Amino acid sequence: MENKIIKVGIIGGSIRNRWASATHIPALIKSGHHQITAIATTNMESAKESANQIGEIEAYDNYKKMLASNNVDMVIVSVKAPFHKEIVLDTIRANKHIYCEWPLAVGTDEVESIMEELKQSTIKHAIGLQSRQADEVKLVKDMIDNNEIGSILSINMKVSTHAKGNWVDQAGSYILDRGNGATLLTINGGHALDVVTFIFGHFTEVQANHHTHYTEARIIDNDSTINKNIEDQYLISGKINNHIPVVVHLQGGAYPQFLLEIQGERGIIRLYQNQSIGHPQYGGLSISLAKYDSTQIITTSQNDDFTVLLEDNKEVPFTNVCRAHQSFAKDILLNTNETPDFHHASYLHRLITAIEVSAETGERISIE
């Protein structure tokens, strides 16, 4: 990979875009395999402002013009989810490699149209499910693969965020409208569910219910209110690989937390965030382990049964995004397939749709 450079254009790369400016842009600037060559936003002033801060690069107020540039090999899509489908389809047709933030699109119908277009393409594609890049997630997967705690009896996960309840700022108000595809289930749930599927494999059935405590929220910038049509509680149960019971509780407008607890015959693994905002993809994860030969020898549970194996003290959320870009660069330059791609995204969208259908109907849904 030495001396090979990927020329990158960022759609939604405004310095004012908090996510792009905190993750993608610094990760690419520090990379030895990338060069940012273009920025596209919906406003030429902001595009030029961002381009000038990065260096002498191209600025566009129309992403389609950027896609026509010979100075762009790869595109990053870092805009709100409702705009993903059109941009992704145009990028595929322009024959550019593409890294798209999660979710891939709004709903499975849009995702299916993207997957159909990909059948005619040879480009490399990656989805922003960067929790998989965390050392802690990889270590838990290795422990499970190596039978560290014996046969898995159950998986329990709790994910909660202070947001998506009864308050919001003006910039984030779009997340309270289901049609924008950035709900508690798709964003917090999607990233967390991907951790489980990465470690264990696919869900083969789910049954869910949901609840809404708040039907409107206060916009804290101006003390007005906005209607809210997304749920703030999900209870999800199911099975992985047809035999491992799994329970997931998603909460909005609650004390923020991420905790994945894996119960085995010979121990318990806990993967958690000490300073959580309910987004495992940000990093800052830790692993604790309690091991025993048999539950027969345990009379009571104690906090000191657990030993901390690994704690992430690296920069969040930058670190995992940086690693995702390095992984994707390898895929592009060496023709590997190590980074989660649109096929992973398609499965996760189908899982989320199954959860939504089950929550509406009460039915247990089988997943292929």
Q: What's the confidence (pLDDT) of residue 14?
A: 80
Q: What pLDDT band is residue 2 in, cutting at 50, 70 and 90?
A: low
Reported as a pLDDT band with limits 50, 70 and 90, residue 103 is very high
Reply yes or no on whether the pLDDT at 196 is more than 70. Answer: yes
With cut-offs at 50, 70 and 90, classify the pLDDT of residue 56: confident
Mean pLDDT of all residues in 239-251: 97
Q: What's residue 302's pLDDT?
A: 87
pLDDT in tens, 223-242: 899 999 999 999 999 999 99
The predicted pLDDT at position 88 comes to 98
- Rounded average pLDDT over 247-266: 98
At residue 270, the pLDDT reads: 98
Please report the pLDDT score of residue 191 as a whole number: 98
CA–CA dist 190, 363 (Å, integer): 21
The percentage of the chain sitting over the pLDDT mark of 90, rounded to a whole number, equals 91
pLDDT-derived band of residue 11, with 50, 70 and 90 as boundaries? very high
pLDDT for position 303: 86
The pLDDT assigned to 125 comes to: 98
Report whether pLDDT(368) > 90: no
DSSP string, 151-206: SEEEEEEEEEESSSSSEE-GGGGGGGSGGGS--IIIIIIHHHHHHHHHHH--EEEE
Strands 167-168 and 203-211: unpaired
The answer to whether the peptide bond before residue 103 is cis (omega within 30 degrees of 0) is yes
For residue 6, report the phi and psi dihedrals to the nearest 5 degrees.
Answer: -100, 125
pLDDT band at 252 (very low <50, low <70, confident <90, very high): very high
Determine the pLDDT at residue 8: 98
- Give me the chain's average pLDDT, please: 95
H runs (alpha helix) in the chain: 18-19, 25-30, 44-54, 63-67, 84-93, 108-118, 135-145, 190-200, 318-334, 342-361
Q: Which two tokens stand for residue 177?
A: 């409208």
Give me the pLDDT at residue 18, please: 81
Highest mean pLDDT among 14-18, 316-320, 328-332: 328-332
Enter the tokens of residue 42. 């919906």
Mean pLDDT along residues 267-296: 95
Average pLDDT over residues 150-172: 96
- Indicate the residue type of 52: N
Which has more confidence, 267 or 13? 267
SS (H, E, C) 224-273: EEEECCCCCEEEEEEEECCCEEEEEEEEECCCCEEEEEEEECCEEEEEEE
One-letter amino acid identity for 210?
Answer: H
